[in-house]
Amino acid sequence: MKFLITKNPAAPQVRGRSLRANLGSILILLAAIFLFMGADTDARFKDLGHRMMCTCGCGQVLLECNHVGCQSSTKMRDQLQAAIDKGDNDDLILQGFVQEYGPTVIAAPTATGFNKIAWVMPFLALAVGIVFVIWLVQAWKKRPEPALADGIVVPEGNELDEFRAQARKETDQ
């Protein structure tokens, strides 16, 4: 703000231009901040609105309920917007909705208490499954070769590699 207190008598025009330029800069900055905040608010509204269900019984996510005149979703959207505008954090907003509409308003189980099991089980199943498949592959690898009928000679080493190369050549080229 140094330019605002300059005492150079020859500089009023310059000062005026600087003032306008700086006011302009401040306005642009404020506009950018508000735009950014707006975008952030929109993103939060969209995010939170997709983490809750509409309570009208349609079984749809709050922001996807498309019933014109749906009393529940209109009211809930307004409440959500008001809570965001008030500056409440996400947890507080969700808690407020749970208190008013019950736990089924949240579109997915929370990661606390018994509900944590809902999230853990699929990944546990995947982990156990992977371990089991790897164990199975190892166990099957250790099985003895099945006995062959008399007269059949299994090619090995270089001979097997030659056959592989020949087959590859005839199917690849």
User: Under rule CB under 8 A, how many of the chain's residues touch another protein?
Assistant: 58
Question: Is residue 38 involved in binding another protein (CB under 8 A)?
Answer: no
C-beta of 20 vs 168, nearer to another protein = 168
Residues contacting residue 77 through CB under 8 Å, at least 6 positions apart: 49, 62, 63
* Contact by Cβ (8 Å): 84, 95: no
Stated length of the chain: 173
Tokens of 20: 């306008």
Question: Is residue 48 involved in binding another protein (CB under 8 A)?
Answer: no
Angle separating helix axes 90-101 and 71-86, nearest 10 degrees: 150
Rg, the chain, Cα only: 34
Looking at residues 3 to 22 of the shown chain, list those that interact with another protein (rule: CB under 8 A). Answer: none
Question: Is residue 109 involved in binding another protein (CB under 8 A)?
Answer: yes
Question: Is residue 58 involved in binding another protein (CB under 8 A)?
Answer: yes
C-beta of 23 vs 111, nearer to another protein = 111
Question: Is residue 56 involved in binding another protein (CB under 8 A)?
Answer: no
Task: Point out which span in 20-28, 31-39, 66-74, 86-94 binds another protein (CB under 8 A).
Answer: 66-74
C-beta of 20 vs 46, nearer to another protein = 46
Residues 114-139: b if buried by 16+ CB within 10 A, e if exposed: eeeeeeeeeeeeeeeeeeeeeeeeee
Q: What is the distance between the alpha carbons of residues 107 and 119, in angstroms, rounded to a whole number?
A: 13
Residues contacting residue 50 through CB under 8 Å, at least 6 positions apart: 61, 62, 63, 64, 107
Among 6, 66, 71, 89, binds another protein (CB under 8 A): 66
Binding site for another protein (CB under 8 A): 50-51, 53, 57-61, 64-66, 68-69, 102-110, 113-115, 118-119, 121-123, 125-126, 129-130, 132-134, 136-137, 140-141, 143-146, 152, 154-155, 160, 163-164, 166-168, 170-173
